[in-house]
C-alpha cells in the first residue's frame, strides 16, 4: 500500500507543467526578439492571440516618416526662400519628421539667436518667435484656431502652412512614402483573424483616405489630436467583448497616450520616441509593420504549444495515476511517467524558439 502511494506521489509531481509552461513563454519571447520584436512580458504574448482590432498610426508607422519638401507656394508677396527660412527656424526645436524635412530643405544656417519663445502644439504644428515675429507653421486646423485668413483649406498632399505675424505667407508641400511591407502586413493580419483594421492620423483627410484605400484599410479617421486618438481607442475597446483585444501600433510622436491606453501598445523602436519605447508593451526594432502579424503568429504558436504541454502532461499523469490506483504500475514506470513527460514537454516547448 505504501509502495502504491509512493508511485502515485511520483506520478503526481507537477514538474512537467511547472517547467514547460514558463519555458514555452520564454521560447516565444526569445523567438520574437530574434526577429527584432521585443515583448515586455508573457501576458502581452497572450493578449496578442486575441487581438481583433488593429489600429495603426499613419506617419512613421505605415509611412516612412521621411518627408521631402516637394513644393513651396508663396502668398502675399513673400518669396520662397523667406517662407522656408521662417519655417525652418520655427521648426528648429521640433523633432517631428515634418520639422526635420523642412530644416533639411533649408540650405542656410539656422541661427538659434534669432529664435525666441517656442511652443509646440501637438498634432498641429509650431508657434515660434523668429526675428521678433510670431511665426506659425502647421496644418489647416491650426490656422483656423488662430483665426488666420487663408484662401485654400484643402490642398492635395501633406501641407504645412506658414504665417508670419498673423499674415498668411504660403504653404510647403511635403511627401512621404508608404513602407514597402505595409500592404503585406495588412493582408496577413486579415488572414490571422483580425476583424477590423483602422488608421488614425493627425494629417489631413485627403492624404489619409488615399493611403487607406491604397492599403485596403477598413476605417480611417483623420485630422485628429493626440487626445482624439485616445477617444477612438476607447470606443474600439468598448465595441469588443472583454476577451477580445485592441492593439495600437504607433511611433510615439503624438500618439504616446494611445500606446498606453490600448490593450496591446506596439511601438516602432528605431524611429519612435523614447517615451513610446518606454510606454509600449511591444517594441518593433526594425520599424516594419509586417512585424505585427509576425508577433501574432509567434504568440499563437506559443499558446498552442503551452496548451499541448498542459494537456499532454495532465493526460499522461492521470492515466498512470489510475493504473497505479489499481496496482498496475511500477516505480520505474512512475519515474519515466514523471521525468519522461517533463522531458518531452521541455523539448516541445523549445519548438517555439524556432517559430
Tell me which residues are annotated as active site.
Answer: 57
Binding of residue 57 to Mg ion (CB under 5 A):
yes
Binding of residue 124 to ligand ADP (CB under 6 A):
yes
Identity of the residue, 49 or 59, whose beta carbon is nearer to ligand ADP in the bound complex: 59
Contact of residue 53 among ligand ADP, Mg ion, none (CB under 5-8 Å per partner type):
none
Binding of residue 288 to ligand ADP (CB under 6 A):
no
Sequence-ordered list of residues with C-beta below 8 angstroms from that of 5, at least 6 positions apart, any chain = none
Give the nearest distance from C-beta 84 to Mg ion in angstroms.
23
Do 250 and 276 form a contact (C-beta atoms < 8 A)?
A: yes
How many CA atoms lie within 13 Å of 319's alpha carbon, on the beta-carbon side? 10
Of these, 182, 198, 230, 253, which contacts ligand ADP (CB under 6 A)? 253
Of these, 24, 27, 28, 60, which contacts Mg ion (CB under 5 A)? 60
Do 250 and 284 form a contact (C-beta atoms < 8 A)?
A: no
Binding of residue 58 to ligand ADP (CB under 6 A):
yes
Give the nearest distance from C-beta 255 to Mg ion in angstroms.
6
Q: How many residues bind Mg ion (CB under 5 A)?
A: 5
List the grid coordinates of 235: 470606443
Sequence-ordered list of residues with C-beta below 8 angstroms from that of 33, at least 6 positions apart, any chain = 39
Of these, 49, 50, 59, 355, which contacts Mg ion (CB under 5 A)? 59
Identity of the residue, 126 or 305, whose beta carbon is nearer to ligand ADP in the bound complex: 126
Binding of residue 217 to ligand ADP (CB under 6 A):
no
Binding of residue 254 to ligand ADP (CB under 6 A):
yes
Closest-approach residue to ligand ADP (CB): 202
Classify burial at 246, counting beta carbons within 10 Å of its beta carbon; exposed 0-12, middle 13-18, buried 19 or more.
Answer: buried
Query: What b/e readout covers 30-65, taking b as 16+ CB neighbours within 10 angstroms?
Result: ebbeebbbbbeebebbbbbbbbbbbbbbbbbbbbbb
Of these, 137, 220, 268, 277, which contacts ligand ADP (CB under 6 A)? 137
Packing angle, helices 182-191 and 205-215, rounded to 10: 60
How many CA atoms lie within 13 Å of 211's alpha carbon, on the beta-carbon side? 32
Binding of residue 253 to Mg ion (CB under 5 A):
yes
Give the nearest distance from C-beta 147 to ligand ADP in angstroms.
18
Give the nearest distance from C-beta 59 to Mg ion in angstroms.
4
Restricting to residues 213-252, which ones interact with Mg ion according to CB under 5 A? Answer: 251
Q: Give the angle subtended at the CA of 158 by the CAs of 69 and 66, to the nearest 5°.
A: 50
Binding window for Mg ion (CB under 5 A); candidates: 58-66, 106-114, 205-213, 285-293: 58-66
Task: Quote the distance between the C-alpha of residue 352 and its chain's center.
Answer: 23
Identity of the residue, 131 or 223, whose beta carbon is nearer to ligand ADP in the bound complex: 223
CA distance 263 to 68: 34
Classify burial at 245, counting beta carbons within 10 Å of its beta carbon; exposed 0-12, middle 13-18, buried 19 or more.
Answer: buried
Cell numbers 515634418 correspond to: 98
CA distance 246 to 226: 17
Give the nearest distance from C-beta 20 to ligand ADP in angstroms.
42
Contact of residue 98 among ligand ADP, Mg ion, none (CB under 5-8 Å per partner type):
ligand ADP
CA distance 170 to 84: 10
Do 185 and 294 form a contact (C-beta atoms < 8 A)?
A: no
Restricting to residues 64-123, which ones interact with ligand ADP according to CB under 6 A? Answer: 91, 94, 96, 98-99, 123
Contact of residue 126 among ligand ADP, Mg ion, none (CB under 5-8 Å per partner type):
ligand ADP
Q: For binding to Mg ion (CB under 5 A), which residues are involved? A: 57, 59-60, 251, 253
Q: For binding to ligand ADP (CB under 6 A), which residues are involved? A: 57-60, 91, 94, 96, 98-99, 123-126, 137-139, 158, 160, 201-203, 253-254
Amino acid at each position: 500500500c505504501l509502495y502504491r502511494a509512493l508511485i502515485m506521489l511520483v506520478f503526481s509531481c507537477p514538474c512537467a507543467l511547472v517547467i514547460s509552461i514558463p519555458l514555452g513563454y520564454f521560447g516565444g519571447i526569445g523567438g520574437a526578439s530574434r526577429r527584432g520584436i521585443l515583448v515586455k512580458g508573457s501576458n502581452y504574448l497572450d493578449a496578442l492571440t486575441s487581438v481583433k482590432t488593429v489600429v495603426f498610426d499613419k506617419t512613421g508607422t505605415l509611412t516612412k516618416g521621411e518627408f521631402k519638401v516637394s513644393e513651396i507656394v508663396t502668398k502675399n508677396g513673400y518669396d520662397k526662400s523667406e517662407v522656408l527660412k521662417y519655417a525652418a527656424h520655427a521648426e528648429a526645436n521640433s523633432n517631428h519628421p515634418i520639422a526635420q524635412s523642412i530644416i533639411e530643405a533649408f540650405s542656410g544656417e539656422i541661427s538659434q539667436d534669432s529664435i525666441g519663445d517656442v511652443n509646440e502644439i501637438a498634432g498641429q504644428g509650431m508657434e515660434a518667435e523668429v526675428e521678433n515675429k510670431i511665426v506659425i507653421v502647421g496644418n489647416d486646423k491650426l490656422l483656423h484656431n488662430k483665426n488666420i485668413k487663408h484662401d485654400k483649406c484643402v490642398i492635395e498632399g501633406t501641407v504645412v502652412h506658414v504665417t508670419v505675424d498673423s499674415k498668411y505667407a504660403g504653404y510647403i508641400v511635403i511627401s512621404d512614402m508608404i513602407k514597402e511591407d505595409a500592404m503585406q502586413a495588412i493582408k496577413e493580419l486579415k488572414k490571422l483573424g483580425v476583424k477590423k483594421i483602422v488608421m488614425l492620423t493627425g494629417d489631413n483627410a485627403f492624404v489619409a483616405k488615399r493611403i487607406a484605400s491604397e492599403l485596403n484599410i477598413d476605417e480611417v479617421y483623420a485630422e485628429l489630436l493626440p487626445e482624439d486618438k485616445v477617444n477612438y481607442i476607447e470606443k474600439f475597446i468598448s465595441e469588443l467583448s472583454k476577451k477580445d483585444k485592441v492593439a495600437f501600433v504607433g511611433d510615439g510622436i503624438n500618439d504616446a497616450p494611445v500606446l498606453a491606453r490600448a490593450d496591446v501598445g506596439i511601438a516602432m523602436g528605431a524611429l519612435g520616441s523614447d517615451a513610446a519605447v518606454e510606454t509600449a508593451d511591444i517594441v518593433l526594432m526594425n520599424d516594419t509593420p509586417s512585424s505585427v502579424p509576425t508577433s501574432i503568429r509567434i504568440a499563437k504558436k506559443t499558446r498552442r504549444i503551452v496548451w499541448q504541454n498542459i494537456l499532454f502532461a495532465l493526460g499522461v499523469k492521470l492515466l498512470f495515476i489510475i493504473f497505479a490506483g489499481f496496482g498496475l504500475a511500477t516505480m520505474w514506470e512512475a519515474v519515466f511517467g514523471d521525468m519522461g513527460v517533463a522531458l518531452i514537454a521541455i523539448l516541445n516547448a523549445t519548438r517555439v524558439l524556432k517559430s
